[in-house]
Structure 1
Amino acid sequence: MSKTFPYNQDLASLLSLSFSAMNQELHNRLKEAGFGDVRPAHSFLFQGLMPDGATAKTLVAHLGISKQAVSQMLDYLEECGYVARKPHPSDGRGKMVVLTERGWSLVRTKENIYKEIEQRWARMIGSDHMKTLQQDLKHIIENVNEEDLQHPLRPVW
């Protein structure tokens, strides 16, 4: 690493900065693709809706934020055309939140952008290093919480 590297070189800083770089590029490119109304926090909500939708209660648990915050996010995303609230198939009073065609289009675009970024990064560090990095991070994530399943990993807000 260069002596002029202006950031802390501890692992937490490096992971955070690399995530930030990827996220910034993703959202710049999503904007160019016509999805400029999506914010970074929405990505985690979309993950909770795939593949078949979810209830607001499930999303609250998935995101670790208040019911009101989830409701506001859903209102915004519904207004923008990414999600729709549908009757719950087995609970007459409940609602399921599902991705619309625009929502699925966003997901596909996001996946393609991530794939392109990962491929470019793999060219920078080598594809074997990239595969090892992905495997190692996956291993850490799968095992970091092993003893404490009461506290699932969630997005960092």
Structure 2
Amino acid sequence: MRRSERKRNEPDLGILSSRTLFSLQKELFAALAEQGHPRLRPRHGAVLAYLDEEGSRATDLAARSGQHKQVIGTLVDELEELGYVERRPDPADRRAKLIVPTGRGLDQMARSEEILAAIEERHAEAAGAADYATFKRVFRLVAERQSGQAE
């Protein structure tokens, strides 16, 4: 079997992961656009997916998302301009800033959770609840091991 055939018929972890990510992002951001958030893009997920409701430091967002702090800073600038986040002094350290979701940001976060829950429910129904739970457990383990979080 040629390499290209093997890649199509037996895709590796990288291909499967990217297919999953890109199709998930496409569905999520299309649904968000329909629900009043048309200017958000998948790149904004590096901030929004990891942002705590009470706010997060840019360095924490960078660490959680795997992005450089400069990239996070650019995305925060965009999201601030779009009205999804604001920068506030960190009460624990006045020299630091927290990135805090606005009302619009909180709305997007809640809608994203609902959309993603529906997507997961659809996949669990198709695969069977037990198999989907096993898939998520194993996929989490692989993701953690790959990123060096588990040994």
- Establish whether TM, by shorter chain, passes 0.5: yes
**Normalising by the residue count of structure 2, what TM-score does the alignment of the two structures yield?**
0.80
Q: How has the CA–CA distance of structure 1 residues 102 and 22 changed in structure 2, closer, same or farther, with 3 Å as cutoff? A: same
What count of residue pairs does the alignment treat as equivalent? 142
- Report matched runs for 1:117-132 at 5 Å: 117-132=119-134
Bigger drift between 90-99 and 113-122 goes to 90-99
Residue ranges of structure 2 left out of the alignment (5+ in a row): 1-6
Deviation by residue 1:105-146 (Cα, 9 ceiling, x = unmatched): 101101111111111112222222111111111222334423
**Normalising by the residue count of structure 1, what TM-score does the alignment of the two structures yield?**
0.77
Q: How has the CA–CA distance of structure 1 residues 26 and 47 changed in structure 2, closer, same or farther, with 3 Å as cutoff? A: closer
Q: How has the CA–CA distance of structure 1 residues 50 and 8 changed in structure 2, closer, same or farther, with 3 Å as cutoff? A: farther
The one-letter amino acid paired with 2:11 is: D
Whole-Å separation in 2 of the counterparts to 1:61 and 1:19: 19
Whole-Å separation in 1 of the counterparts to 2:62 and 2:20: 27
Bigger drift between 63-72 and 107-116 goes to 63-72
CA contact (8 A) 1:83 1:103 kept: yes
CA contact (8 A) 2:46 2:61 kept: no
Whole-Å separation in 1 of the counterparts to 2:124 and 2:67: 34
User: Alignment RMSD, CA only?
Assistant: 2.2
The one-letter amino acid paired with 1:26 is: L
Q: Secondary structure at the match of 1:74?
A: helix
CA contact (8 A) 1:8 1:14 kept: no
Q: How has the CA–CA distance of structure 1 residues 134 and 71 changed in structure 2, closer, same or farther, with 3 Å as cutoff? A: same
Bigger drift between 84-93 and 57-66 goes to 57-66
Residue ranges of structure 1 left out of the alignment (5+ in a row): 1-5, 148-157
Deviation by residue 1:15-53 (Cα, 9 ceiling, x = unmatched): 321222222111111111111211112223123321421
| 4+ residue segments displaced more than 4 Å | none
Aligned to 2:11: 10
